[in-house]
Structure formats: structure tokens, C-alpha cells
Chains A and B, each alone.
Chain A
């Protein structure tokens, strides 16, 4: 039963094929047996999961079950979970047990979902390979010599390895879409403000957005139904009606206008990657969609702007990790400055320190106008590019990443090379738009992701387009050859 989707499990539970406790036990034992290969979980909350599963079965027996009752899933370790370790992939929070639930965690609990535990991630969500986690790198189930992508690498690897049918994730510059692409999965980053950020440990507040990694668009829609909505605890959350995202999955896409940004099909994008993406577009044309070349002229400015804004925000967001009230504290501090310096020096990893320093520099007196202010101006230009594009097209498509999953260690020595990984994904976060990645082909037996970009709050259309593709192709059904991997 581990290879089932959320929708299938939901139907099976309703049909009494198996109980929530049974599938929960099944997945827990699978995690125990195989996750040492992928390292996708930081914490497995077995006891809590079984208690939730039992409660769900009881609820079903009492006739009060709905779509999510008893369905297993797991949370990225960036979301605070009451009473369960929440580390954000960092030594700094390696002992932090949150005293409260993130809003989306609460939503899933209330919906009756069963949380199997907390998923590995790049430290404080900073990374594109899940190699910066204090709890060790995560491996890609398609090839354990390769990275799963990041920062939601644990979420992607766990779903690809069929340890959970779906997982929450977060995306600040591509952290959902890139790992989904690398692991052959469906990733959804909603519009900024669609899902509450309360309880999601902040990396870059104006860019962070919670989303999902699943195997199908249908499952993404089921997850978004639980997550989306207004939350007074998050001032940037938008008070806007939440449609039933599963209701529009099968709408016709006849006449849908797809924009292909010429900047996303650059000459240095490999012919194989281009081909996979073009094949997918052709599939859409077969379904009646129209294709139009568009331009997003400021695309090349997205990475530089992002690497000012995100570090600037993180430099302040991570100041609270000071060793005073929670988290890691150095041994025998001599005075308050020693406590700060050593707790932070020892508690943070190299990438986090790099970004804090870049951010502090960009915000410092005399540089603010040249960097932070300028980056915000560029951000407006990038947003305008999309606003203009959506006057002409309904949806924008292109590759999610420049390459399929790269080798572990390949890019760790050169941070800029790593940052370029997010060239196609980052602009959306700057604009606040929703985006998805769905598996659309393979290069060298590795999955290739197709990115779908929607207009503000147009998640319904994105999910619809993704679902239609998955109805007419089977790339999303392809799974890594888990059996062939040793000791399984």
C-alpha cells in the first residue's frame, strides 16, 4: 500500500480496504527499514502517528470521516509541531521542541491526517541540494549518489521513496519545485499569502510560502484544500475565498493560452532538457492549448535581486537564534558577547553564516540604497514582467531547473554555481506568484520537471493544467527502482 497516492488512500480507507493504523504501521516500518539510505526524516513521531491513526479509525467507525481522516503524511521540519522536535535542519535548533503548532500543522491535525514525523531540509531552508542540513545530506531515491534538490529535499525524497504519499514543504526561491523536479514529483508553491506562515520558521519572510510535494496534482489539490485560507496570526496572509481545488481538476483546457518565455529556453540549456520540455508543451497543444512566445526581460536580474533580499531578511530573522532563550548555547560563556558569538558561530552552518553576512552587509549604512533598495526596485520590474505577460497568456511554462539532479558534492564548493540552480524558480517568489513543477520526461534516467506558472491566486488553473497532463501521460507514475537498491 506504500505506492498509493493520497487520493487512493483516502478512497481505500473509506472503502475499508485497510485501516489508518494499518497503513501507518506499514509506512513506519518502511521508514525504519529504508530511510537510512535517503535520510529523509529527522524525527519519526511513531507514537503520535499511531495515536492519530487510532483516533482517525475511531472517527471513521463513528461515521464522522472525511477526505483526510486517517491519511498519513509528514511535515518539513520548518513547521513548528507542538511537543515534537522542530529543528529547521540546524544544530541551532537541534534541541528545540516547539510549544505550539504551525497553522498548517493544526489544519492537517484538525482534518484528521496522520503525521509520521518531520522531514529533513537544508539548514534554515538555505540550499538547493539538501547538503547543508546539520542532520546530514538527503539522497535522491532515483540515484543515491545524487542530490534530491533543496531545500525541501527530505519532503521530496520521502515521497519518491514511497515513505509517505505527500508532504508539506516550503519554497523561498524554488525549494519545492526544484526538489519535486529532481525526484520526479508534483510540487506546488501557492501564491504568497494563500497559506499562513504562522509557525513556519522564517528564512525570508517576503518570499517564504508553504506548499506541497506529492505524486499527483490531485493530491496537491487535496493538500491545498487543507492548507489554504486566511489566518489573522499572519498579517501577510490574504483574506480571500478558498475554492475546492479538486473540483476544477478535470476542467477542459481547450483554448488555454500557454506563454513560453524565450529567456527560459536559453541556448545553454541542454538540448535534451529542451526536448523534454518541448515534448510536454506539444502534449498540451494536443489537448487544445495554444502556445505563444513571450518575454520576461528582467529574468537575468532575479538571482542577484534574490541574493540581496533573501539574505537581508534572513539576517534579521535569524537574530533571535542567540542562545539566550532556546536552542543551542555554547559551553561556559564568559559574558553576553561571548555567548552570542560562540552560540551563533557554533550553532549555524557555513551557508547560513554566509547569507547572514551578505544580508547584514547589504543592509548596512551607506550600502542600503545601492543594494537593498535597488533590489526592491528590480523586484518590482520582475513582477511587472509577469503582470504584462499575464495580460496575454493564461499560464506560463518552461523548465523547472537547468539540469536534472546533480551529483552529491558537485556544487558545494561553489556557492554561485549552486545559486544558479534556481534561475527559473526564483522570479516567482520575487513576484509572489504560484508555481508548480510536474514530471514531464527523463534525461539519463533522471526525471525532468516542467514548471507551470500561474497568475495570482490562480492555483485552481495550475492544478487543472497539471492534472490534465497527468491524465494523458504517465511520467508522474514513474518511480525510482527502489527494489534494485541494495538492502531493501
Chain B
């Protein structure tokens, strides 16, 4: 039978507020256990929540970025369940009246086309703490530093049809929230986590199949792999005439398989009800418009501008616009050089290769955008040839330079990379090379006219070896002239 895959994602993104959603404690990552949990975060008797308006502003910003309806009245609810890292015995979240309603984003597919994925809703809620199971002699430790960190949970419609689309959606959401500056996007620290709902149905059938939910997948690659593994598992069962059990599963990246976590057959009853300690959050159109005025250029708009106004290929534009920092780096260098295409080639080429090789992010690269811009300027005015430019770039990567554009010029000087374009100087070098290699000259002269273009190659190599930084075009011209005079 032919199967259709149905995927919906729930993404939790931690908002980059300084303090927690309902308390004044810091949200900074990595502090000693329970040092960033105040009485409110600990859920002590008698404490009350006070809503952090910065979290509201960020959530509205997100809603506007995905062209969503903004909830002018949103209501916090209590979701009741007992778990040691949930200190109050309930999570404060938004059930019926979320801050962000129906919206959408477009994802780019491998064939270059794009697909619209609708977002059902995004709501504000508080993160839980962490249970630590090792190092306590068989007992568990609780770290409540993370408890109360603001989250938005972004719920997609079940509109993705394969794992690649799901990964593209996750990437796009990552790109949007980091562009907005509302989430640091650090997947390794859990700043963004993804739950994947996966089901299969016979192609053409309207009714959804039974779904499973893969919890807490925390990388783009694992989203794709986990979903593919789950699709394969479900297909095996269905092909054998079996039934899928609705349940929560975990992805084991080492074994590349999903496994059951807990059964959802008997659905948990969370006994939601409106939180009586918090007033409904009421905002008006003026508030929304004031937030809209703070929106930065978003990835889609930037991509379109790169392609249309600056002539980049669709793929280059997409890759360069996807990451806010990379896009900023690229565009800074491109503006200095006044050449977007040249800058795109470099950022996609040497810069990306260096980032991959060193496993660093663009922010950690020793070559500043200003320095790259200066290198590109020097290429354009023929001061540097391509080889020289790479040498300067690599020297900067190794830390030779102080971040300033001037240090590029100093390096060009100290490394003797300035390209020689003066034909007089080059004529002298060519003359030397020809005099020193009579056999090569003989061979050249014996070569038929129509094959001489290729035979000139070794001379070019020798000239460039004899003098670094000579302009190859001038060398070619002088060589051709000198050899034809022989």
C-alpha cells in the first residue's frame, strides 16, 4: 500500500528575557543548581506570580513575524500534574486564549520551491526545572534554575509530509526566533526543543492515522532522523497489519530508533482551569503596532532582497539569509566591497569552510566582516590576487590581526602579497625565467601554434614562483609577447 506521512511539530522556544516569566530571578544558563530559583520559582507557600511584560512583548513580536492573529485578551491557565521538577504541582500556561493565534510560515524545499505551513497557535508558558538522576545514591536531585523560564510553545498544523519538510520547518522557526532576538536558539542548551507528532495513513484517505509523539528532539538533524526512524517503524507495523499505539516516544540518536516512553492510551487529565492569581492579559492595537515597529527585516524579506536587488542566486540568497549573524556578516562585507556576488562567493566558500573545519559560529571567527570587506576591496582593485587574498584570510583566521581593516593592509605588506601589475617589472622577471630555462623555451617553440596556449602554462607557474603576487593576466600578456618575439 502507498502511505502518506502526516507530521506536526510542537516547538518550545525559551524567550531571551533577563528574568523569569513570573519572578525576578535570572534566566542565565549554567549557574550552580538552585541558585537562580527564588521563593516564587520554588513554589513556597504564600507566593504569587507577577507576569513579566517582556515575555509578552516577545511573544507578540513572534506572532507578528508569522503573520498571526494576536490575542488581545490572553488568559493563563493552570495545567495540573505532579512531578518533582514542577514545583507548584501545576504549570502555568495558556489553553483557550493563547497570545498568538493562527499564522503561517513558508519553508523552502530541496527542489527550490516553497511550501506554506500553517501555525495553529503559540502560547506563553513557564518551563519546568530539571531532575538529576546521577550522583545522588539512587535518589534524584532537583535543579529549579530553569523553572519559570518563559517559553513560547509553537504548534504547527499537521501539514508536513516528510522528515525533510519537518526539519526545514524547525530550521525556519529557529531562523525567525533568532532574527527576532527573542530566543538565543542554542539547541545544545535546550533553548529550543521540538516534539514531533507522526502518523501514517493510506494515500488518499482523509482521516488521520493514530499518531505518536517523539518528545524533546533537540537538533535539526535529529528531527529528520527521528521522524524517518519513526516512519519506518510505523510502516513496518502497518504493512504487517498491526496497529499503532498512541504514545509518547523518545529518540535514541545512537541507535537511530525511537522507543516508547509512556502510554497516552489513558489520556492524562490535566484539569485545566484559569489561574486565579493572574489577571487576563489585555493589550490593544496600539500596543501591537508599537511592537510591529520594532520588527527587524525577517529571513524571507532578506532572502528576496539578496536575490532581487543584489542578483544572488536563489540558493545563495536562501543560505545567506537563513542565519541572522551570517547574513549580517555577509552584508557588512558586501557593502564595504560594494560587491554582493563576490562577498557571497567568499562567505559561502572560504568563510563557511573555515567555520565547518573549526566547528565554530560566525561570531567566533577571528576574521571580522570589516576585514573580509577590506580583502574583497583589495581583490577588486587588483592589489590582491585570489591566492594572496586566501593567504591573508588564513593568516587572519590564525589570529594574525587585530580585527581592524588596517591590519589587513599590514598583513598584505608583511607577507609581501601585493600583486605586481607593473609590466616593466614583470618583463624583467619573465626575461630571467626564459633565460634560466632554455630547454623549456625550445620545447615551446617546437610546439605547433594551435597548442601553444596550453604549453605556456609551465612558464606562468615559474614566473609566479619567482615573484609572489604578480598579476596573472599581466604575466600572460608579457609571456605571450616575449615568446612570440623569440
Q: A205-B276, A235-B51, A360-B271 are in contact. Are A316 and B80 (CB under 8 A)?
A: yes
Q: Is A198 in contact with B47, judged by CB distance below 8 angstroms?
A: yes
Report the bound CA distance from A52 to B47 in whole Å: 25
Residue A312 is within 8 A (CB to CB) of chain B in the complex: yes
Q: Is B82 in contact with A340, judged by CB distance below 8 angstroms?
A: yes
B293 to chain A, nearest CB (A): 28
A77 to chain B, nearest CB (A): 11
Residue A324 is within 8 A (CB to CB) of chain B in the complex: yes
Residue B78 is within 8 A (CB to CB) of chain A in the complex: yes
Q: How many A-B residue pairs have CB under 8 A?
A: 107
Q: Is A322 in contact with B271, judged by CB distance below 8 angstroms?
A: no
Residue B207 is within 8 A (CB to CB) of chain A in the complex: no
Q: Is B46 in contact with A235, judged by CB distance below 8 angstroms?
A: no
Q: A320-B87, A324-B84 are in contact. Are A96 and B45 (CB under 8 A)?
A: yes
Residue A206 is within 8 A (CB to CB) of chain B in the complex: yes
A: interface residue count bin: 35 or more
Q: A319-B88, A324-B142 are in contact. Are A313 and B276 (CB under 8 A)?
A: yes
- Chain A residues near B48 (CB-CB < 8 A): 197-198, 202, 233-235
Of the listed stretches B36-44, B324-332, B379-387, B444-452, name the one at the interface; the rest are far from the partner chain.
B36-44
Q: Is B39 in contact with A100, judged by CB distance below 8 angstroms?
A: yes
Residue A372 is within 8 A (CB to CB) of chain B in the complex: yes
Report the bound CA distance from A325 to B34 in whole Å: 12
Report the bound CA distance from A327 to B140 in whole Å: 18
Report the bound CA distance from A365 to B44 in whole Å: 28
Residue B278 is within 8 A (CB to CB) of chain A in the complex: yes
A469 to chain B, nearest CB (A): 34
Residue B279 is within 8 A (CB to CB) of chain A in the complex: yes
Q: Is B43 in contact with A363, judged by CB distance below 8 angstroms?
A: no
Q: Is B45 in contact with A93, judged by CB distance below 8 angstroms?
A: yes
Indicate with 1 or 0, residue by residue over A81-106, a CB within 8 angstroms of chain B CB atoms.
00000101000010010111010000
Determine which of A100, A201, A365 lies in contact with B269 in the assembled complex, contact meaning CB atoms within 8 Å.
A365
Residue A36 is within 8 A (CB to CB) of chain B in the complex: no
Determine which of A205, A315, A322, A325 lies in contact with B42 in the assembled complex, contact meaning CB atoms within 8 Å.
A325
Residue B273 is within 8 A (CB to CB) of chain A in the complex: yes
Q: A100-B39, A324-B142 are in contact. Are A316 and B90 (CB under 8 A)?
A: yes
Q: Is A206 in contact with B276, judged by CB distance below 8 angstroms?
A: yes
Determine which of B43, B46, B278 lies in contact with A98 in the assembled complex, contact meaning CB atoms within 8 Å.
B46
Q: Is A368 in contact with B43, judged by CB distance below 8 angstroms?
A: no
Q: Is B269 in contact with A364, judged by CB distance below 8 angstroms?
A: yes
Indicate with 1 or 0, residue by residue over A231-248, a CB within 8 angstroms of chain B CB atoms.
011111000000000000
Q: Is A235 in contact with B42, judged by CB distance below 8 angstroms?
A: no
Q: Is B45 in contact with A336, judged by CB distance below 8 angstroms?
A: no
Q: Is A88 in contact with B45, judged by CB distance below 8 angstroms?
A: yes
Residue B89 is within 8 A (CB to CB) of chain A in the complex: yes
Q: Is B44 in contact with A326, judged by CB distance below 8 angstroms?
A: yes
Q: Is A368 in contact with B276, judged by CB distance below 8 angstroms?
A: no
Residue B49 is within 8 A (CB to CB) of chain A in the complex: yes
Q: A202-B46, A235-B48 are in contact. Are A316 and B84 (CB under 8 A)?
A: no
- Chain A residues near B87 (CB-CB < 8 A): 320, 324-325
Q: Is A99 in contact with B80, judged by CB distance below 8 angstroms?
A: no
- Chain A residues near B276 (CB-CB < 8 A): 204-206, 236, 313
B19 to chain A, nearest CB (A): 14
B73 to chain A, nearest CB (A): 15
Residue A199 is within 8 A (CB to CB) of chain B in the complex: yes
- Chain B residues near A88 (CB-CB < 8 A): 45
Q: Is A200 in contact with B50, judged by CB distance below 8 angstroms?
A: no
Q: Is B44 in contact with A99, judged by CB distance below 8 angstroms?
A: yes
Residue B297 is within 8 A (CB to CB) of chain A in the complex: no
Residue B69 is within 8 A (CB to CB) of chain A in the complex: no
| Residue of A whose beta carbon sits closest to that of B90 | A316
Residue A80 is within 8 A (CB to CB) of chain B in the complex: yes
A185 to chain B, nearest CB (A): 25
Determine which of A198, A233, A236, A327 lies in contact with B279 in the assembled complex, contact meaning CB atoms within 8 Å.
A236
Determine which of B43, B84, B277 lies in contact with A235 in the assembled complex, contact meaning CB atoms within 8 Å.
B277
A/B interface sample: 27 pairs, CB < 8 A = A98-B44, A98-B46, A100-B46, A102-B46, A198-B48, A199-B47, A202-B45, A202-B46, A202-B48, A202-B277, A233-B50, A234-B50, A235-B278, A236-B277, A313-B273, A318-B89, A319-B82, A320-B45, A320-B88, A324-B84, A325-B42, A325-B87, A360-B80, A363-B80, A363-B272, A364-B269, A368-B273
Residue ranges of A at the interface with B (Cβ–Cβ < 8 Å) = 79-80, 86, 88, 93, 96, 98-100, 102, 197-202, 204-206, 232-236, 312-313, 315-316, 318-322, 324-327, 336, 340, 360, 363-365, 368, 372
Residue ranges of B at the interface with A (Cβ–Cβ < 8 Å) = 39, 42-51, 78, 80, 82, 84, 87-90, 140, 142, 267, 269, 271-273, 276-279
